[in-house]
Structure 1
Amino acid sequence: MKIDTICIIDDDPICVYGTKILLNRNSFFGSDILVYEDGYEALVNLTSLSKTEEGFPDVIFLDLNMPVMDGWGFLDEFVKLPLKKKPHIFVVSSLFGPKEVKKGKSYGIIDDFISKPLVESKLASIFERVMGKSENIID
């Protein structure tokens, strides 16, 4: 599997910037990085992309705490989209615990929870997992 498009849904410009640098420094994926500052903006744009599935992300990095529509609100609506191919969704957040992990599992589409900041070793583990080489992500 080739990873062509990655989507970052996060309102923290420093985290977005750091994630983009990590992605651009590595050869794990193609060249497209979509960035949305809140769940609503992401939902509107991804819904549009889902109609043709052209340019639809293979991987989504989703923050939980954002203005307008948080990560939970995004997930509530995203699971309703009639997608042929589901993206790998990783919650990347500074605050989560067992309660959030349990809630996340109820959606059935979250691959894992990752603590911010995303670092190179975690990114490598994510891509190994997505490409089927490994089953576990080490935090």
Structure 2
Amino acid sequence: MVNNVLLVDDNRATNFIHEKFIAKSGKAKEVNCFMAGQRALEYLEQTNNFPELIFLDINMPTMDAWEFLERYRSIANKEQAKLFLLTTSISPQDEAKKKDFPEVEEMLYKPLDVKIFNHIVTKYFPAPTT
């Protein structure tokens, strides 16, 4: 279970679908969606409930994922977040750029679904053993 998930994608329908799949998984308490990287960065700088998972679309119009990531590096609480890039097609250029950003866990194809989200939560947030 994760407390807070952040979705950053300029496509309203994609955010809506991802939010529904995450809710259906039952593994996230809160989901916040932003259609612009700048607004998401402002949220991250001000929130007291920093997300544990961030899903970031690579290709957005005013601020792409790479510019977002450059600015994300200056945010104080970022160490606790697992960051994933989302794309409809993984290009060799994006794979090469990803290597410059060790804070990115994985690059995934859109759309997310319940199975992929559950896999991520299980892999990166394992349940504590008793």
Same fold (TM over 0.5): yes
Higher relative contact order (CA 8 A, sep 6+): 2
Is residue 2:93 matched to residue 1:95?
Answer: no
Q: Distance in 1 between matches of 2:105 and 2:78?
A: 17
Corresponding position: 1:81 with 2:75:
yes
Question: Aligned in 2, Cα 1:95/1:84: closer, same or farther, shift over 3 Å?
Answer: closer
Give the TM-score normalised by structure 2.
Answer: 0.89
Q: Identity over the aligned pairs, expressed in percent?
A: 23
Q: Is the 8 A contact 2:55 2:85 kept in 1?
A: yes
CA shift at 1:84, angstroms? Answer: 6.4
Structure 1: runs of 5 or more not aligned: 134-139
* Moved >6 Å (runs of 4+): none
**1:1-139 matched pairs, under 5 angstroms:** 2-30=1-29, 32-49=30-47, 54-83=48-77, 85-132=79-126
**TM-score where L is the length of structure 1:** 0.83
How many Å apart are 1:118 and its aligned residue? 1.1
Unaligned 5+ segments in structure 2 are: none
- How many residue pairs match? The answer is 127
RMSD of aligned alpha carbons: 1.6
Question: Would the aligned equivalents of 2:50 and 2:77 in 1 still touch at CA under 8 Å?
Answer: no
